[in-house]
Amino acid sequence: MTNVCSAGLDVGFASLDYLQIFILGVIQGITELLPVSSTAHMRVIPALLGWQDPGSAFSAAMQLAALAAVVSYFWRDVHQVTTGSIGAVRRGDYNDRWFKLAVAIVLATIPIGIAGLALSSTLNACNSPLRGLMVIGISCVVMAVLLAAAELRARHTRDVSQMRLRDALIVGVAQIGALIPGVSRSGSTLTAALFLNFKREEAARFSFLLGLPAIALAGLKELWVLLHADMPAHAWPHLLFGLVVASVSAFFAIWGLMKFLERFSTWPFVIYRALLGVFLIVAVSTGLLS
C-alpha cells in the first residue's frame, strides 16, 4: 500500500470506497471510546484486508464523531458542568463542585494541547514513524500491562464528586500517551483514574468528561488542516459519511462500556490488548505485515 498525500498530509481515506469507509467508520466509532486504541485498529484492519491506510487525518477528524457521542450520552453531566460553573462564577462561589469540575477539565486539557501542537507535524505526516505497526504493537502490550496493574491495585472507592485538581492533572498528563498510536486516549485516562482508586464506571465517566475539550480541539484542528490540504472534492463526502457512521457506533460503544463496567472488570480489555500487541509484534517480525 502507498500513502496518499496532499500538502504533506496523509489522506489515504480519499481513495477508499463507501463500503470501506462504512466498515472503518463503525470500527473507528467503537474503538475510539473503548480502551483498545482506535488508531491501532485503523492501521491494522486495512493492513490485514489489503486496503489503503486511511491516514492519521481520518482518525483525528473522526474524533468529532466521538465528541457527538460523548455529549449525547453524558448530556446531563455536560449541561450541569456548563450551567453550574457559569452560575458559580456569577455567585462568586468557587467551591461549587461543578465549577471545580470545569476547572479540572480545563486543567487536564493543557498537557495534551501542548504536546499535540508540538508533535502534530510528525503525527500527521505521510510515512509517520509513529504509525508503524511495530510501534502500535509495543504500545498495545505496554498499555495492557499498565491497565492490568491498575486493575490489581485499584480499590474502586471514589466517584467523580470526589475528584481533586491533582487527580485531573494526573489524568491529563496520562492523556498525552494517546498521541502514540496503540495507547488509546480512553485507555490511558481510564488506567490513570483506576490508579487513583476511582470506581470502574466512574473512572470511565471521568475519562470521557475530561476528554471532551481534547477531542473537540483535535477534531476541529484536523478539519482546519484538511480544509487547507487541497484534498480531492470527493474526499469530503467520504469524510462526512464516515463521521455519521462513527457517531452512531460510538454512542452504542459508550452505552455498552458503561453497562459493562458497572458489572465487570477491565480484564477482557487487558487480554485483548495484549493479544493484539503480541500478534502485531510477531506479524511484523516475521514479515506477515509491514
Tell me, what's the pLDDT at 52?
Answer: 87
Segment 75-99 mean pLDDT: 92
117 pLDDT above the threshold of 50: yes
Average pLDDT, the chain: 88
Tell me, what's the pLDDT at 215?
Answer: 85
Q: Where does the pLDDT of residue 135 fall: very low under 50, low under 70, confident under 90, or very high at 90 and above?
A: very high
* pTM, to two decimals: 0.86
Q: Where does the pLDDT of residue 132 fall: very low under 50, low under 70, confident under 90, or very high at 90 and above?
A: confident
Distance CA 171, CA 165 (A): 10
Q: Where does the pLDDT of residue 277 fall: very low under 50, low under 70, confident under 90, or very high at 90 and above?
A: very high
128 pLDDT above the threshold of 60: yes
Q: String of b and e for 5-22 (b: at least 16 CB within 10 Å)?
A: ebeebbbbbbbbeeebbb
238 pLDDT above the threshold of 70: yes
Is residue 237 classed exposed, middle or buried when 0-12, 13-18 and 19+ CB atoms within 10 A define those classes?
Answer: exposed
Tell me, what's the pLDDT at 268?
Answer: 96
Q: Computed from CA positions of residues 270, 120, 213, 32, in that sequence, does the dihedral angle turn out positive or negative?
A: negative
Distance CA 186, CA 204 (A): 8
- C-alpha cell of 268? 477482557
Q: String of b and e for 32-45 (b: at least 16 CB within 10 Å)?
A: bbbbbbbbbbbbbb
202 pLDDT above the threshold of 50: yes
Q: What is the DSSP letter of 52?
A: P
Tell me, what's the pLDDT at 254?
Answer: 94
